Structure 1
Amino acid sequence: MATITIEEAQATLADLIHNLEPGDELIITENNIPLAKIIPQIPVVSKRPGPGLCKGMITINAEDDDHLQDFGEYKMM
């Protein structure tokens, strides 16, 4: 955990933020009193699988068009 004065933070805030690593904390103080804590944002990881990762998870038990008759009006001609 690093501590920096508000004057130092104002002068170099962009560099301070860009140099933070995961797990780092930066405390901004004024007159030795903590004012704010800056921590790097944790990247959001998508939980959606990529293309092709579900291959083989669906089984079609019949190879006929009877089950598609209800969708006839939606078929493109």
Structure 2
Amino acid sequence: MLEAKTNLSKLVDAVESGRETEIILARNGKPVARIVPIEQPERRLGIAEGEFGTLDEEWFREWQALDEVIWKDVLDARWERFERHSRELEEKYGRKRNKSA
């Protein structure tokens, strides 16, 4: 027990790192306690795996084509707003320049 008390931090590190799966503490040669790692719930990535079909090369090509269509619409709308705004500025300030020239 005295040795465990003195080296508790090292013992916990050994269990935590996986170097030891468990450490048995004894008093007067009789086992009295066990240091074991606490089971952590497994954190899984991809918990929805298989829920949306196979994500293969064909799926990726379809996704890219759809992405291009979506962005084309967004960019076209922004370009139209830019052109409209440019025409409005030209009408507003272009006439004033012509009058002063």
TM bracket, shorter-chain basis: 0.3 to 0.5
Larger Rg: 2
Which has a greater percent of strand?
A: 1
Q: TM-score, normalised by structure 1?
A: 0.48
Q: Work out which structure has the larger RCO, using CA pairs closer than 8 Å and 6 or more positions apart in sequence.
A: 1
